[in-house]
Each structure stands twice: as structure tokens, then as C-alpha cells.
Structure 1
Amino acid sequence: MDRRDFLKAGSALALAGVMPHAAVAQENRIVFGGSVPMTGSAAETGLNVMRGYECAVKFVNEEMGGVDIGGQKYTLALNLFDDASDPARASTLIQRQVDEGIGFFLGSFGSNIVLPTCAITEAAGRIMVQAGGGSDLIFTQGRNRVFGLFPRASRQFVSSVNMFKELEPAVKTISIIYTNDPFSKFQADGARALIEEAGIQVLDFIALPAQVSDVTNVLTSIRQNTPDVLVCTTHDETSILIARQMISTNTNVKMLYQTLGPQTAAYKEALGNYANAVVTQAYWSERAPFKGEYFGSAENFAKYYRANFDRELTYHMASGAACIICYLQAARNAGTLELDPVRDALAALDFECFYGHIKFTPQGDGQADLLGPLLIQRQNGEIEVISPAESASAKPIYPAPTWAERA
């Protein structure tokens, strides 16, 4: 089994058949369990999230000398497995870690994996803090031990609609393409409701299978009824597929907006100059004025990350690191590693750090007004924040150049 493991924790508890009441590891270490897609279809972003976990652990252990909780000093360790982007494999691995006595879990990437794994940790009385699943189903089925850094999918489009309303010339029509998976469908439904509420016409609302290899028929419909903005609530590989086939079929719109994909190095490598002017979401930027105790500022987090890791920095690294910081802040507030007090302290979190102002809803997802996405756009190969205006580093390129003009 492919495994990234720094410490195996809780085996004595598991052998004794006792569910842990506290996430205390051996030798004064706090161990975070979980699975991450290191291979498979979600690996591009999964590895980004994992680097964020590793970055936080490295900083706390080496720069802070550990963390003081209730008068006791602890270092941190990760116990992460490769779930290969497979929900069934992830569920098996998480159940095994529950049986081993792990109390604190970090999330995988993708709502299709977070959903079954958080059900396991919830049923076992453990805690999960994650930045990889935004489906409404994670937060609307009565769970109270899973927390997400992002707002639930249906609440993620408020800042996007605000940007659409500010663009000149005015956005009058939008079409939406989404994949039929637990995250993308909820996000598309939320986007449609907010777009129509803003008085913008939705021309087409097109569902794709969760796994898709060709969208040329869909793009024919887009060319026949061309919107000002094409919104794709799709994951990384599907976003690349859509963009490539838009280029090959000369399907042009004034703005291509894809919620996942354009943030990654793989997207830039796949599309080259064609990636310019594509708009996407980012839940963090090193240019944002965020700061706090851990890492200092957003800019300092970026500097520390680049000094210690080679993988290109995206917001996923920051959100992964923030998951661990949330655990530490909650445990410090609670003064203990006992699971129930830490859960209660997570629910009550209200603090500022390098990632932003972190506060959860009563259902466990990120407060939309505090943790909703920035809008970013590749301009001349660089990622620029284009909305909201108070955080912007550049003005939006709109209307976008045609594909031929970007060649």
C-alpha cells in the first residue's frame, strides 16, 4: 500500500478496543489521519492540499518548536494514505485509521470522497476538518463533527455574481455547464439561482456525466446560442477538456469561467497561452491583506512555502495548512486534546490568520461572507485577483481575446 506516514498512532487503544476520547499521540505528538488522492484523476489538486498539510506541520514543528496546549508541548505528525481518487478505497483506509485510534482527521479532495469518509468519522465520534469537499450534502445531513474551510457549494457564487454585475459591457446572458456529481450540481444550482436573482438571463443549463470524454455536441449548442459568459462548475480534468475543445471548435465567449482547474499548474501546462483570460475561483491569495499568529501574513506564508516546497503554489496549499491551524487554535482555546471540547471549540472559532477570517456556520461549512472565493484570472501568464475590488491586483480582461488572438 502506498503510504505517506510519519507516525502510526493509537495502536494500543485499538488493540484494547477503546474509542479514544482524546487525540493524544505517542511521545507528545498530535497525529492527523486521513487520505489524499496522490494518484488518480484528483491527484493534481490532492497533492496541492497535501503539500499544505505538510507545510503547516513543518512550520509548527521547526519554526514554532511545537504547540502548547493545556501547559503541554506537542509536535505534529501526519498519517496520510493515497486513496488513488477512489471513494471506496478512501473509505477502507479511513475505517482502518478509526480502528487504530486516530481522533483528528484531515479531508481528502473531492466531495465524492469527503462524503463517505466524513460519514465514517462522524459515526465513530471523531473530527474532520477539510478543504476538499463543498457539497451541500456534507453539511445538511445532521453532522456536527465535520468542518469545511469553504462555504457549501450552493453558497459559493455570491462574489461571482457581484463581479458579473460590475463588468462592462454589461453581462446580459450566461450559460452553465456542470458535471453530475455531488459538488458540481449543487454549485451549479446555487449559481443559477443567484444569477437569475441578479436579473441576468441563463440561456442554457447543461448537465454532463460525472465522467466525460467529449463535449463537442454541447459546444455546438453554445455556438448556436452564444452567451456573454460561459460558467463551468467542473473539476480539473473536465475543465481542461472543455477549454481544449472550445479552442479546437473555435467556440468563443466574452468570458470563460471555470470553478476548478485554471488555478493549477496542470491547466497552464495543458493550455499554454490559451489559459490567459480564463477566470476561476480562489479562496486565498498571497496578495490579500490576511495576517495572524501562524506564518504571519499571507505573503509570509507564500514565502515560507516556496522556500521549502517545489510544487507551484495555489490556494489549495493555503487551505490545507489552514485546516491544521484550525485544529491547533481550537485545541489551544479548549486547553485540551479531548475530542468533545475540541469539537466545541472548532464550532466556536472566530479568528484571523494568514488564510483570512475563519468562522464556521452552525452546520460546519465556512461562513460565505468571510470565506467565499476571490475571483482570479490569468493575465500574461500570471494569476491576478480581479474581484472583489478591495482585494484586486488587476482589472478583469473582458471581453476576452478570441482563441485565435491568444495563439
Structure 2
Amino acid sequence: MDRRNFLATSGALALSSTLPRMAFAQDNTITFGGSIPMTGGAAETGLNVLNGYRCAVKYINEEMGGAEIGGEKYQLALNLFDDASDPSRATTLIQSQVDEGIDFFLGSFGSSIVLPTCAITEAAGRIMVQAGGGSDLIFTQGRERVFGIFPRASKQFVSSVNMFTSLDPKVETVSILYTNNAFSKFQAEGARTSLEEAGIKVLDFIALPAQVNDVSNVLTTIRENTPDVLVCTTHDEPSILIARQMVATNTNVPMLYQTLGPQTAGYRDALGNYANGVVTQAYWSERAPYSGDYFGSAADFAKYYNANFERELTYHMASGAACIVSYVQAAKNAGTLEVGAVRDALAALDFECFYGQIRFTEDGDGDAALLGPLLIQRQDGEMEVIAPAEGASAEPIYPAPTWEERA
């Protein structure tokens, strides 16, 4: 098969809530398949990742005139469908796209969706590059064609522990809440290991249901045995629920740290001033000192995104765009769109762009030394980088004000 012939959509982006129906084949167009949560529980962040994909396609097509690979120019197109945050729906969509000839896939958001869909693309000999799944299971089951912009979940807490040990007063105790799903559990276990290795005592390690409706009993435990830091390895909606119930029950801790949720406009809108002081992870900042051939610097990416898209910029947009950039750079290095060659070039990637130094481990996840998270804290409504110190835009506020003081 001539890999220059890709099933393409009629424009740069096709979005649908129905099963995919591919358009006619078109030369010199690279079509990326996949699904993304545009509705359902993961939609808040899913739409952020989607806008990152869209941003990179728009920039490369319009500002760079396309991607030059092997002496030829190619336009990029997206053929992404709404999986409604439903793994079963996502697997149906991805299998249909595999059957219709898509070779290059972008990931959905959430390990519960990425895990079964990447199993389909792997078995079919196709490639997936994704910024939505960090579960260790994605990267420890022998897959060779799945690449993640983030480090695997169990390796995502090293920078956090470094910050905890540098705070004054020093963090001595931590409690961990996690939802019982493929990502959060691995991240929580990695956090516990890293904390204990640093000599920080883990007071409680509490599993919540995958679908959380109430945490009042758990918060009673937190009030009775208050840690210096409450770590929640939870996704957007559970993070909002936990914070709201902490406010309602006056459950105060010196630091509330939630790995997903506080980065989003939805979290800010739901909690208002109570969002101030909450700490979270970010895998990119427009203040970061990175630059390269695509977009220019991190600040240039932010400027371009804000000029072309209305949805508030978070690191998820940059991560999504980095997936597209990684594909294009790998194909450029390979000099061909032959799937095996692109796969090998992805495995060997080591280049700097607006997102940072992109390099994957031999298992396909992001190199933790290069692509691990920054720590950010909402201060007076602004997201400030508080660690690592060399990249910080503000000092951590610790201990944080009580909920009553934030009202």
C-alpha cells in the first residue's frame, strides 16, 4: 500500500457523534483517526485535548504550508469522533476506523478509554500517540506502537515529593485518596512509594469508587487525622466533588493537592474563590523556556492558540498539539509515511519544541526526567508555577488559608 494515500475528510477536521464514515481517499493528506470525549464525564478535559489537536493541524497546514516529508508536502486532517466518555463506544469507533484503513491514531482522554483502544490499534499494527492515558498498564504489556506524551502514572510524583521536602514548614504527613480506576490507582501507588522513600509518612491510603457520589465519611477520617497534605489522584469531576464537600464540612488541610481538575475552567467556575490555594500538576506552561520549529516558543504557542481558539488555554491543549508535532517530526526524520518507519522514528525521537524535550522510554511513555509535571497553584485566580524552583513564577502558599478565609 502506498502510505501517501490516506482516507481523508473533506476538511481539516471532521467531528461526529455517529459511527465514522470515511470520505474518499485523497493523495498528500495525512489523516489522523481516533475518538475523544466531547460529551460525558470526561468532556471538560477531552475538549481541551481536542483543541490541542486542532491547533497543531491548523498551524502546520496554514502557517507552515503543510508537513514536508520525503521531499513532498502533506496537509493534515483529523477524523475524530465523540466517544461520549464511554470505553465501549470508543472501541467500536476505533475498530471501525482500523477496518477502513486509518494508520495513524490519536488517543482519547482517560486511561479507561485509551487502554482498550490502544489494544485494538496495536493488534492491527497501527500507531497511537496520545496525551490522555497514563496508566502503567498501557506501557507494561509489551506494546510497541503506543506512545504517551506523559510519563506512566507510577512515575509522575517525583517532582511533587521534591517540592514537599523543600517547603517550610516541612511536610511530614500525607493522606492519599484515589478513585479505583486504571490511572488513579497506579498514580496513587507511585505517590505512596515516592513519599515513603523520602521519609514522609502516609497516614491514610483510601480507595474511592470509580464513580464517586459522596466522600463525607472519608472526610471525617481526614479531620480526625489531619495530614499536612491531602493528595487526591482523581479526575475532574471527583476532584470538584471532594473540594466542595471539604468546604461544606469545613475540612481544612495545609495543602490540598489534586492531580486533575484544578487546571480547568470548569473547576474554577465550580469553586470560585475556594479554588485558590489548591495545588495541581501541569505538564506545560507558557512561561517554560522551550522552543523549536513548530510554533516557536512556549509563549508563542500560547499566543497562537489564544488568537485562534476561544476555549481557555490549559496544558492539555499543549499536550494534544505535541502529539501531532511528534508524529510530523517522526515522519520527517523517517523521510516516509510507511508505518513501520514512522513507528521506529517515534521510538527514537529526541527533540525540543514548544512543549519541551520530547523523548519516549523504551516502553513508549514520556521520559519522566524530561516530561514530568510542573506543580502549579491557583493564586488570586491565576495559575502560578510553584515547582521546580528554577521554573517557578511564584512561591507556594503554604499553609493555605482556611476555607472560611477564602470565602
TM-score between both structures, scaled by the size of structure 1: 0.95
Structure 1: unaligned runs, 5 residues or longer: 12-24
Q: Who is 1:15 aligned against?
A: none
Pairwise CA RMSD: 1.3
- The 5-angstrom pairing of residues 246-265 of structure 1 reads 246-265=246-265
- For residues 304 and 402 of structure 2, what CA distance do their matches in structure 1 show? 38
- The 5-angstrom pairing of residues 8-407 of structure 1 reads 26-407=26-407
- For residues 26 and 339 of structure 2, what CA distance do their matches in structure 1 show? 16
Cα deviations across residues 83-115 of structure 1 (Å, max 9, x unaligned)? 000000000000000011000000000000000
- For residues 292 and 239 of structure 2, what CA distance do their matches in structure 1 show? 34
- For residues 35 and 367 of structure 1, what CA distance do their matches in structure 2 show? 25
> Does the residue aligned with 1:243 lie in a helix, a strand or coil?
helix
Cα deviations across residues 358-397 of structure 1 (Å, max 9, x unaligned)? 0000000000000000000000000000000111000000
- For residues 262 and 302 of structure 1, what CA distance do their matches in structure 2 show? 19
Q: Which runs of 4+ in 1 moved over 6 A?
A: none
Q: Which letter maps to 1:278?
A: V
Q: Which letter maps to 2:226?
A: T
Q: Which letter maps to 1:310?
A: E
- For residues 29 and 158 of structure 1, what CA distance do their matches in structure 2 show? 41
Q: CA deviation at 1:27?
A: 2.9
Cα deviations across residues 133-167 of structure 1 (Å, max 9, x unaligned)? 00000000000000000000000000000000000
CA contact (8 A) 1:29 1:76 kept: yes
- For residues 68 and 44 of structure 2, what CA distance do their matches in structure 1 show? 34
Structure 2: unaligned runs, 5 residues or longer: 1-13
Q: Which letter maps to 2:147?
A: F
Q: Which letter maps to 1:112?
A: S
Cα deviations across residues 239-294 of structure 1 (Å, max 9, x unaligned)? 00000000000000000000000000000000000000100000000000010000
> Does the residue aligned with 2:320 lie in a helix, a strand or coil?
helix
Q: Which letter maps to 2:374?
A: L
TM-score between both structures, scaled by the size of structure 2: 0.95
Q: CA deviation at 1:26?
A: 1.3
Q: CA deviation at 1:67?
A: 1.1
- For residues 134 and 369 of structure 1, what CA distance do their matches in structure 2 show? 15
Q: Which letter maps to 2:269?
A: E
Q: CA deviation at 1:2?
A: 6.7
Equivalent of 1:3, from 1, 6, 16?
Answer: 16
CA contact (8 A) 2:107 2:130 kept: yes
Q: Which letter maps to 1:390?
A: E
CA contact (8 A) 2:33 2:97 kept: yes
- For residues 332 and 34 of structure 1, what CA distance do their matches in structure 2 show? 22
- For residues 4 and 338 of structure 1, what CA distance do their matches in structure 2 show? 30
> Does the residue aligned with 1:262 lie in a helix, a strand or coil?
coil
> Does the residue aligned with 2:144 lie in a helix, a strand or coil?
coil
Q: CA deviation at 1:9?
A: 5.4
Give aligned-pair identity as a percent.
79
Q: Which letter maps to 1:326?
A: S
- For residues 340 and 280 of structure 2, what CA distance do their matches in structure 1 show? 37
Q: Which letter maps to 2:218?
A: V
> Does the residue aligned with 2:65 lie in a helix, a strand or coil?
coil
- CA 1:29–1:324 in structure 2 vs 1: closer, same or farther (change >3 Å)? same
Q: Which letter maps to 1:356?
A: G
> Does the residue aligned with 1:47 lie in a helix, a strand or coil?
helix
CA contact (8 A) 1:10 1:101 kept: no
Cα deviations across residues 312-365 of structure 1 (Å, max 9, x unaligned)? 000000000000000000000000000000000000000000000000000000
